[in-house]
Amino acid sequence: MRYLHTMVRVLDLDASLRFYCEGLGLTEMYRVENDKGRFTLVFLAAPEDVELAKARQAPLVELTFNWDPEAYDGGRNFGHLAYRVDDIYQTCQRLMDMGVTINRPPRDGHMAFVRSPDNISVELLQDGNLPVAEPWASMPNVGAW
């Protein structure tokens, strides 16, 4: 397992970038503009992690800016922790065997979401590709993540 990123939702992308980059000294590594989803993701690395981040080997902070105004009450501005796993199906099955609800099953063989006992969302991302498989492909979402 490898720690990937922590996601934080932001209301003002420019003000947030000023804080994280100018204030804290983080470096913007890359960004994703998603017109269909109406959001921008900006990934930042700590100064000593920049070279590792270029090779996608360092944990990052993901700033998520949703283009449409939204209130982030109930802690929704903190998004999730993300981990890359060797086998997402095995990981999800182990968690289910422990009584953990798979909120967003890995229907695509690539991504799943679960929640910690403290209700923190955890994103699991498959390292490489796995074929779509049952029972995961047919499992519905449960709750929120």
Does residue 78 form part of some domain? no
Q: pLDDT by residue (tens digit) across 28-43?
A: 999 999 999 999 999 9
- Is 123 catalytic? The answer is yes
Strands 121-126 and 2-10, bridge-based pairing: unpaired
Q: pLDDT by residue (tens digit) across 103-124?
A: 999 999 999 999 887 687 889 9
- 25 and 62 housed in the same domain: yes
The residue length of the chain stands at: 145
- 94 and 134 housed in the same domain: yes
Per-position DSSP letters for 60-82, written without gaps between them: EEEEEEESS-----TTTTEEEEE
Active-site residue, from 51, 70, 123, 134: 123
Backbone phi and psi for residue 72, each to the nearest 5 degrees, phi listed first: -105, 70
Does residue 28 form part of some domain? yes
Q: The domain that contains 34 carries what CATH number? A: 3.10.180.10
Per-position DSSP letters for 10-72, written without gaps between them: ES-HHHHHIIIIIIT--EEEEEEEETTTTEEEEEEE-GGGHHHHHTT-S-EEEEEEESS----
Q: Tell me the two tokens of residue 109.
A: 């063989």
- 8 and 42 housed in the same domain: yes
Report the C-alpha dihedral over residues 117, 119, 121, 127, rounded to 10 degrees: 10
Does residue 26 form part of some domain? yes
Q: pLDDT by residue (tens digit) across 59-75?
A: 999 999 999 988 887 67
Q: Considering the entire predicted model, what is its pTM?
A: 0.71
Q: Tell me the two tokens of residue 128.
A: 């490489």
- What is the total count of domains within the chain? 2
Q: Which domain holds residue 124?
A: 86-138
Q: Is the pLDDT reported for residue 82 higher than 70?
A: yes
